[in-house]
Amino acid sequence: MIKRTIYIGNPAYLKIKQNQLLIQDPETNAIKGSVPVEDLALLMLDHYQITISNQLLTRLQGNNIAVINCDAHHLPLGIMLPLYGHTEHSERVKYQLEASIPLKKQLWKQTVEQKIKNQQAILKMNKKSYEQMNYYLENIKSGDVTNMEGKAAQYYWKHLFNDFTRERFGSAPNNLLNFGYAVLRSIVARALISSGLLPVLGIFHKNKYNPYCLADDIMEPYRPFIDKLVFNYTIMNGMSNELSKEIRAYLLNIATHDVLIDQVQRPLMVAVSTTTASLYKCFTGELRQIKYPELD
């Protein structure tokens, strides 16, 4: 069953009754909607006047549901996840901690390769110049010591959008990309917890202030799927400096967006779980290749 993403952008009181998340109007006390907790994967809270009961929070964490709260600009600000989401958590973390540096370097090389392939696919399908991406693919070394990822990204952004610079606080469509990436990061972090891995311990990212280093590693080949959604939106609707509810709802659909992974079409949220499960098997030696999606 495909798990659901629920977005709440109005004042609400959230509580639980008979394992159902109830959405109650705080003024009239009328129930505006309900959803079974076991059907949820992500719950996004995007209003300062949302109240959530601790009993509901406990049940959400017990079902490995990511709770995302947003700031005044409607961008995801924080993620709440359970401390662990797998019965063999300590056993799996042991393998993660014991992963050798050469293994991590090979896994990062695989990650960068698939990210660049997916970026190249977007350029090609939109009739943009893409041939240069072959050079970056052919020159990736173990651990990407020559930074082909960064060089490919510079080329990619220059050619995907007209007169565009990818910046965290830059002009549109940076705002759409930031929102989409934050949602994607939450999906990946949730899947890592479900696979019994520590999101803080990356294979490449090592920022001491970042609690989601591994999520930032694993989401890289998935970023182009957000880029594709944003690009298609701007083609149909033009650039927008406003992160409207319509745009946020559109980007939240990434969770159920079909992607090709392991030669099978699966919803992105399912594909991410396939990726994180394969990562664990790489740590144990059962696999030598992470399973990543291909953008077609």
Residues 167 and 243 placed together within one structural domain of the fold: yes
pTM as predicted: 0.90
With b for 16 or more beta-carbon neighbours within 10 A and e for fewer, the 234-269 pattern comes to beeeeeeeebeeebbebbbebbeeebebeeeebbbb
Which one of 19, 47, 80 terminates a domain? 80
Which CATH number goes with the domain that contains 143?
1.20.120.920
Classify strands 40-45 and 66-70 as parallel, antiparallel or unpaired: parallel
pLDDT of 89: 81
Band (223; pLDDT cuts 50, 70, 90): very high
Mean pLDDT rounded to a whole number for the chain:
93
Residue with tokens 């745009």: 247
pLDDT of 51: 97
Cβ atoms of 43 and 60 closer than 8 Å: yes
Residues 108 and 204 placed together within one structural domain of the fold: yes
pLDDT of 84: 73
Q: How many domains, in total, are found in the chain?
A: 2
Residues 62 and 94 placed together within one structural domain of the fold: no
User: What CA–CA distance (Å, rounded) separates 149 from 202?
Assistant: 17
pLDDT of 47: 93
In terms of pLDDT, which residue wins out, 211 or 95?
A: 95
pLDDT at 216 over 90: yes
What percentage of the chain reaches a pLDDT higher than 70? 99
pLDDT at 1 over 70: no
Report the largest interatomic distance among the alpha carbons of the chain, rounded to a whole angstrom: 63
pLDDT of 83: 77
pLDDT of 72: 87
pLDDT of 88: 78
For residue 229, what are the contacts with CB-CB under 8 A and spacing of at least 6? 180, 250, 251, 253, 254, 257
Evaluate whether residue 291 is within a structural domain. Answer: no
Band (235; pLDDT cuts 50, 70, 90): very high
pLDDT at 87 over 80: no
pLDDT of 242: 87
H helix intervals, 126-173 = 133-138, 148-160
Residues 120 and 190 placed together within one structural domain of the fold: yes
Q: Rounded mean pLDDT of 239-245?
A: 87
Q: What is the pLDDT of residues 127-140, one digit of tens each?
A: 999 999 999 999 99
Residues 13 and 160 placed together within one structural domain of the fold: no
Q: What is the pLDDT of residues 150-194, one digit of tens each?
A: 999 999 999 999 889 998 888 899 999 999 999 999 999 999 999
pLDDT at 67 over 90: yes
pLDDT at 48 over 80: yes
Evaluate whether residue 149 is within a structural domain. Answer: yes
pLDDT at 90 over 90: no
Residue with tokens 């495909």: 2
Instruction: Determine the distance from the C-alpha atom of residue 230 to the mean position of all C-alpha atoms in its chain, rounded to a whole number.
Output: 15
pLDDT of 82: 83
Q: Which domain holds residue 51?
A: 4-80
Which CATH number goes with the domain that contains 53?
3.100.10.20
Evaluate whether residue 289 is within a structural domain. Answer: no
